Amino acid sequence: MKVNAFALILLPLRLTGMEKNDIYKKNMEAARRFVPGIEQKVGGAGVEADLVLEKAASGAPTARLEGRYLHSARDPEREAARLVFAADRAEPGENRAVLLLGFGLGYAAEAAAALAPPPLIIAVEKRSGILRAAFETRDLTGILDKRIVFVLGDEPDAITAALKISPKKLSVIRNPALTAADTAFYREVERHIENWRTKDAVNEATLRRFGKRWTRNQAANLWAVRDLPGIDLLAGRFDFPVLLLAAGPSLDELGGRIADLAGRCIVVAVDTALRFLKREGVKPDFAVSVDPQYWNTRHLDRCLPEESVLITEAAVYPTVLRNRPGRRSAAGKDFLYASSYPLSGFVEARVDVKGRLGAGGSVASTAWDFASSLAPAHRPIFIGGLDLAFPGLATHYRGALFEEHALAGAKRFLPAETRSLCALLDAAPFFAKAADGSTVLTDKRLALYASWFENRLKSSKNRDSLRLSGRGLAINGMKTTGIEEVLALPPCRTAISERLEQVSNEISQKWNSKPERKARRDRYEAACTALTGGLKAALDTARSVLTDMAVLEHSRAREAVLKRMDAAKAALLNSEVRSIAGFSHFDSKGPLQTEGAEGAGQLTEEACKELIDCIGFTLSALKRPYP
């Protein structure tokens, strides 16, 4: 067919029923082996009603949806190769992923699969009927046996599971016709992608800033792993509603009513909200503290009642635990949750396994997870002060420690208002939908916390989480209610206090029994011996590798040196202290966090020097955590 430069006439794609069936069976047979569950999603779908299949000028199939071409009308294969080449920013040999927003007939996926090395392909397609058309039209067996993950259906948050297995290097290719046809769906998918990218950036920046601080804190708090019980001993033992208090601006709306609410619920408060509760004359049943910094301890100054149960972890700043009255005999009163950091995690695994809580970047997310574990699923969680936004351009409730610091440090050319403005602008602010349908200012960091709540709420559908204000950022799955719903509950403060005392006594008696304490002490001493012994062995091995690297070029026994180096590298990578050794390094992966069998060959001279510094720092922290 002769193609006019100014007019392109395409013919309908004509395939017999037998041809479609043969192509479909061939594709489905390949997909069934490599893409579990795809047959149920695609097999029952019919071809999209608005999809028109045509033959491109090159002879390859193309298609239109609602009048817009999914692929080039001239040469869809060449177009896809050009798009993938433009989007791929990976270095030669670098592990990466290609994410397709709209699979269409699969041309972009084929072009991505041809890259070297082949990337992980994540194909997002809302309309199963389009994938059905691709399976009936084109032979896709060449990509179905590659590393490909399909995200199908109308749930955009399903992309989160696929991103968990994705390398950090991610290229996104959008199909304009498909993203325009389902704008809201693909916009939500992109929000999850952005949150995933932000999370990695935040984690890396946080580790770079606090890695050594966490190591020092854990080294100083190892005694708590031995002496304080885990939160798993509290799980499900309180059959009461829960009131969770964060420190957002909407907490002011509960002023004067907290005592009435506390008379009907177990009160769980984040550390930043304790000052508000003290002003209200209410003692929380549980206080959750997570932040490892010294300045965070100031939220607890004269604000954490002795009667309240402290929930924390081993990486918290040491004075949080040391300043508790009778800290050595606090078993049954204060509790640890399982540390997500390698140093204290090493000791916990050998001494006493604590219950695990989710870490969504915010103390409020950890507190919500703890509140969920306390009571049975039929008991609701009422939440105050969880805004994840800046309603009224406020960052926290009135009188918060942040506000007092800003006022106390105000100067003529640096007034408190300037500091408040910086807090609003620091993390890429933008306007978003509030829970009550209005618009509220938030930022990328707070939106990331909101996505964590959305994921957790989806996995705990049987529990109601009800916010007491609609001024904060909208969170899918979290409803809004009024204070009246809480006040309509029967008073039960006396029963709550009695139950707290009973559970505390039961745990304390068992935890502090002489046989249990001796067994724990023995396990603790053995764990500390294994920890320091493993770190010293890793240090000696790293030094030997560095020495061999220095003499390798001039050595006559090159093969013997290489063999010795390979054995030493393998010993380092298989060491039980591997994650601890590299944790305090500024790089979030650390010099020992390489993956795969080829990792041993990636231990360079620079990485060896970094590793030696990391191990030396960790050993010095274990001897003397703070100068």
- The verdict on 502 and 607 lying in the same domain is no
Alpha-carbon gap, residue 162 to 97, rounded angstroms = 11
Angle between helical axes of 558-573 and 514-551 (0-180°, round to 10)? 150
Alpha-carbon gap, residue 233 to 451, rounded angstroms = 29
Closest CA to 570 of 590, 589, 553, 545: 545
Q: Specify the pLDDT at position 601.
A: 41
Mean pLDDT of the region 340-360:
88
Quick: pLDDT tens for 319-338: 999 877 654 444 447 999 99
- The verdict on 565 and 485 lying in the same domain is no
Alpha-carbon gap, residue 224 to 343, rounded angstroms = 13
Alpha-carbon gap, residue 579 to 194, rounded angstroms = 28
- The verdict on 104 and 170 lying in the same domain is yes
Alpha-carbon gap, residue 602 to 599, rounded angstroms = 5
The answer to which of 5-9, 192-196, 530-534, 548-552 has the lowest mean pLDDT is: 5-9
Q: Does residue 331 sit within a domain?
A: yes
Residue 50 has pLDDT above 90, yes or no: no
Residue 5 has pLDDT above 50, yes or no: no
Q: How far is CA 198 from CA 124, 448, 589, in A?
A: 20, 7, 16
Q: Specify the pLDDT at position 594.
A: 40
Residue range(s) defining the domain that contains residue 156: 15-198
Report how far Cα 208 is from the mean position of its chain's Cα atoms.
Answer: 17
Residue at which a domain ends, from 487, 511, 535? 511
Number of domains in the chain: 3
- The verdict on 414 and 322 lying in the same domain is yes
Closest CA to 100 of 227, 190, 39: 190
- The verdict on 552 and 420 lying in the same domain is no
Q: Specify the pLDDT at position 587.
A: 42
Is 259:284 a contact under the CB 8 Å cutoff? no
- The verdict on 179 and 233 lying in the same domain is no
Mean pLDDT of the region 191-202:
76
* Token pair recorded at residue 374: 């306390």
Query: How deeply is 547 buried, as exposed, middle or buried, from its count of CB atoms within 10 A (0-12, 13-18, 19+)?
Result: middle
Strands (E), 444-546: 465-467, 479-480
For the chain, state the CA radius of gyration. Answer: 29
- The verdict on 488 and 546 lying in the same domain is no
Residue 514 has pLDDT above 90, yes or no: yes
Residue at which a domain ends, from 479, 511, 543? 511
- The verdict on 42 and 148 lying in the same domain is yes
Give the number of other CB atoms < 10 A from CB of residue 116.
7
Q: Specify the pLDDT at position 460.
A: 74
Q: Which residue has the tokens 């993390």?
A: 427
Mean pLDDT of the region 200-229:
81
**252: Cα within 13 Å, side-chain hemisphere:** 13
Alpha-carbon gap, residue 478 to 398, rounded angstroms = 25
- The verdict on 30 and 89 lying in the same domain is yes
The DSSP 8-state label assigned to residue 71 in this structure reads S
3-class DSSP string for 406-425: HHHCCECCECHHHHHHHHHH
Q: Specify the pLDDT at position 202.
A: 62
Is 289:312 a contact under the CB 8 Å cutoff? yes
Alpha-carbon gap, residue 206 to 210, rounded angstroms = 6
Q: How confident is the model at residue 370 (pLDDT cuts 50, 70, 90)?
A: very high
- The verdict on 505 and 541 lying in the same domain is no
Alpha-carbon gap, residue 77 to 63, rounded angstroms = 13
Whether this prediction's pTM lies above 0.85 is answered by no
- The verdict on 350 and 431 lying in the same domain is yes
Instruction: Rounding to the nearest 10 degrees, give the CA dihedral for residues 325, 340, 456, 353.
Output: -70
Alpha-carbon gap, residue 502 to 495, rounded angstroms = 10
Closest CA to 361 of 254, 274, 443: 443
- The verdict on 254 and 185 lying in the same domain is no
Is 396:272 a contact under the CB 8 Å cutoff? yes
Q: Does residue 3 sit within a domain?
A: no
- Beta strands across the sheet bearing 68-69: 11-12, 51-55, 61-65, 68-69
CATH number at residue 439: 3.90.1480
Alpha-carbon gap, residue 620 to 49, rounded angstroms = 68
Give the number of other CB atoms < 10 A from CB of residue 360.
20
Report how far Cα 34 is from the mean position of its chain's Cα atoms.
Answer: 27
Q: How confident is the model at residue 350 (pLDDT cuts 50, 70, 90)?
A: very high
